[in-house]
Structure 1
C-alpha cells in the first residue's frame, strides 16, 4: 500500500480528490492542513494538523511518502520549506499550479502550450499576498520544484469549476441564467477562455501518481479550451429551461462605468489570451475530458441541492439593472 500525503485536501479540489482516492484501497492517505476548512471531513483518514508556513511542516518528516499531492502552496518559500522537510524522496511530487503562470506580455496568442513563456517573480513579489502576484508566485514555485531533483508532475489548470467550488466565478452566470430575467454581457460575449472541470483535474492528479514510467513534466489540464460567456448562457438556459433577455454592451462602456474585468463581471477578459492547449495531457494520460454540457449539468445539479444562494462574486443585481438602463439611453 502506497503512502500518499495530501497537502490540503478539504476544500474544493482537494475534497473532490480525497473522495476519489478513498475509493482506492491501494493508498494509505494522510492529510496535512490547518483544519480550518471542513475539519470534520474524512474522519477515518490520517491527519497531520499544522500550518505549513511554520515549523509545523516538519511533522511530515516522520514518514517516507510514496507520493505527495501539493494543493495548497502559494508562496515560493513555503514550497522550499516543504521540500526541505521531506525525510526521503517520494516517487512522485504532484504540484497543482495554474495557467495564470503564462506571461501575457511576452506572448499574446491563443491556445498556448506548456512551452510558452512564464512570468518572472521578483523577491518582493515572492512574499506579496495580493492576487496580482498569484501567477508570478506559482511560476516561481514551479522553478523551485524543477530544480529540486525530485520526480515531479506540474499540473496547470485554467479556471476550475464544479462541485464544492466556493469562488462563484462560474456560478455567477449559472445563477443569473436560472434566476434573473435580464443579463448584462460584454461584447456579445465573444471573448473566449479555457476552463477545467474539477473531475478532469482530479483524474489527471490520480493518473500522475498511478502511471508507471511517467517522466517529470508539465501539463495544461483543460476540459474546454474555447468557452465563452455566450456559450455558457446558451447551454445553461437550455439545461435550466429559462430564456433571459441578454443586453450586450461594449468594453468601453463597462470600463467607463468602472466595471472591472473578471471580478465585477466574472469570466470577462477583454482579450482571447486565456486559452490553452491541453493536447499533451490528453495524449500522455489518455484522458477523455468531460463534455462541457455534461459538466455544466452536473454542476447545476450540485447547486440545486444548495438551493441557489445569492452569489458573493460579481456586481449586484441592482447595479446590473442600472447599467442596462444606462446603456439604453
Structure 2
C-alpha cells in the first residue's frame, strides 16, 4: 500500500541552511528542489562540469573532493545546519568533506546504496544485515565490483567522524524524471513504443524502485527532524506483470509483453546489461528487489503510487534522448528464438 502523494510544499516553519555536495543531477537535483519547496536555503558544491538547471536562489560553490582538502577551500569559514552528500563515491572524497565539515554542520546525511549488502539473495534485506568487506581507503576506481565496497568504506568514515550526527540512506534503484542511467526509464519507453516486446521471466519476479522525489522528501524529513540512523529507501514491490501493466496504463500504449524464460535468455546471451532492473527473485541478487523499508516508513518515508512514477517519468523521457539497452533488432532475434521452441 502506498501513502498519499507528497506535494513537496510542506514547511516546518524553521528555515535550515543546507549544503548539498553535488546537486545538479537527478537525485541531488530532486533533493535541492525539495529543500527549496520546503522553505529552506541551499548551497551546492560541484565541480561545475555538468548542466546546471537549478533555480538562481541556490548558492553555487565550486570545489573538487578528488583534490582532498585543497579542493574544498570554498567551504572555509562557512557553517550550515546540515550537509547532504549525494556525490561521495570514494573514501578519498568522503574523508575530505567529512573532516572539513566536522565543525561546520550539525548533521551529515550520506546517500549510500543498497549495493553495500553482502548477502543480496536474502528476502527481505534489512538494515542490520551483513555488509560487503570494506574497500581500502586509497582505492579510487569505481567499477561494478568496487562500487558496493567503496560505499561501505564511505559509510564508515561518516559514522566515525559524526557518530550520532550521521544519517545513512541506502536507496535501491532510483527512478523518475532526470534519471541519467535510463534503467527504469527504458522499460517505460519500450512499453510506450507499443507492439510485442520482450518481457523477462514469467511475470512472477519482482521490481522494486524508489522514486527520486520520495527519496528527496525523506531527506528533507531527516534534516527537519534531525533523524540519525541507517535507512533502506525502497519503493512499492510489484511483480513484473504488475509493473508492465502499470507501464501500459501510464503510457496508454497498445503493447503486448512476450514472456521469455531465464533459460532462453541465458541461451541467447541476454542478461542484466540488456535488461536493466530485472533480477530473478531466486538469483544471487534477487533480494535487492525485496528491500525492507519499514524503518524508513516509521521515520516518515512516504511513497507515491507507481502509476504516478511511470506516468511522470514518461512525461519527461518523451522529450529527452535516452540510452538504449536492448536494440529492437536484438529483441526481435530473441523473440524469434522463443517462438521456435
Equivalences, count? 318
* 1:209-260 residue CA offsets vs partner (Å, 9 max, x unmatched): 1004x3x300011221x22432221111123222323222222221222212
Quick one: distance in 1 between partners of 2:278 and 2:102?
45
Match of 1:92 in 2: 107
Distance in 2 between residues matched to 1:229 and 1:49, nearest whole Å: 43
Deviations, residues 125-149 of structure 1 (Å, cap 9, x unaligned): 9323212221111111111111113
Q: Deviation per CA, 1:153-172, whole angstroms, max 9, x where unpaired?
A: 11111111111112111111
SS in 2 for 1:149: helix
RMSD of aligned residue pairs (Cα, Å): 2.0
Would you say 1:72 and 2:87 are equivalent positions? yes
Structure 1 stretch displaced more, 166-175 or 50-59 = 50-59
TM-score, structure 2 length as denominator?
0.87
Structure 2: gaps (5+ residues) = 1-14
Instruction: State the secondary structure of the residue aligned to 2:149.
Output: helix
TM-score, scaled to structure 1: 0.90
Cα distance in 1 between the residues matched to 2:310 and 2:128: 30
Q: Distance in 1 between matches of 2:203 and 2:137?
A: 36
1:312 to 316, 323, 337: 323
Contact 1:33 1:52 (8 Å CA) reproduced: no
The match for 1:265 is 275
Q: C-alpha displacement at 1:289, in angstroms?
A: 1.4
Greater relative CO, 1 or 2 (CA 8 Å, sep 6+): 2
Runs ≥4 residues deviating over 6 A: none
Query: Contact (CA 8 Å) 2:194, 2:253: kept in 1 or not?
Result: no
User: Which residue of 140, 156, 161 corresponds with 2:170?
Assistant: 156
Judge conservation of contact 1:9–1:17 (CA < 8 Å) in 2: yes
Contact 1:172–1:314 under 8 Å retained in 2? yes
Gaps of 5+ in 1: none
Distance 1:233 1:87 in 2: 46
- What's the offset of the Cα at 1:295? 2.2
Q: Structure 1's 315 and 124: CA in aligned 2 closer, same or farther, altered over 3 A?
A: farther
Aligned-pair distance for 1:89? 4.6
